[in-house]
Amino acid sequence: MSMSRQHSKPMVMRMAGAIATFIGFGEDARQTAPFTSTEKQSPREVVVRPALQLVKTDMEDQPESNHKWRRHPQLRAYTPPLTPDAREARRYAVRGLYAAREGALEIATDLFTQAAMCKDTDLTAIPGFWELSRGQMQTAIDAYENAERYREAAALDAQIASIYRPNIVGFEPSPVTPQLRRRTAGGE
């Protein structure tokens, strides 16, 4: 038993020294620790990781946008909180959507117009907008025109026209070039 305590004591001391150096309150990074054992060996140098040092750089002075490589993808996609005007515009847009669904088209036009006064508001981005009927979507076009956002009104009108384009019933388009009749194996 006394033999095992002799062997374990230097090992424990070396481990304690290594842990102390790793944590940062140990001795110098390079130290000579003699290896004692029943066999006679020469002392050897044990290299321990050097203590960490704080280094000042210019990167700390730069804004956080330059450190995007450190950020999680979900944090990069994070949108900043809405301004009170944008929040109010979205509130009017959602109320206009509900009014349009209920069939109160004049009220929906007024609410959509109040929402369209905020330049950042896109009425087509409201969840459920594209499930409205053509007449209900027309209220959003009228609202864009009332808010003097003519470009958005024209784009929405063209998009709605392409969705609700009338198709001729029973019409088969003729081919551009006439097809040659194929012959069968019998020559017909």
Question: What is the distance between the alpha carbons of residues 111 and 141, in angstroms, rounded to a whole number?
Answer: 12
pTM above the 0.75 mark? Answer: no
Kindly write down the DSSP assignment for every residue of 146-167, as one continuous string. HTT-HHHHHHHHHHHHHHT---
Query: In which residue are the tokens 């060996």 written?
Result: 41
Residue type (1 letter), 59? M
- Would you write out the chain's pLDDT as a tens digit for each of its 188 residues? 445 454 556 777 777 777 777 676 655 545 555 555 555 555 566 656 667 676 666 555 555 555 555 666 666 666 778 888 999 999 999 999 999 999 999 999 999 999 999 988 999 999 999 999 999 999 999 999 999 999 999 999 999 988 887 666 666 666 666 566 666 666 66
Where are the domains positioned within the chain?
2-47, 84-163
Ramachandran bin of 56, using left for φ above 0, alpha for ψ from -120 to 50, beta for the remaining angles:
beta
CA separation (Å) from 31 to 2, 41, 108, 154?
28, 17, 80, 78
| CA distance from start to end of the chain | 108
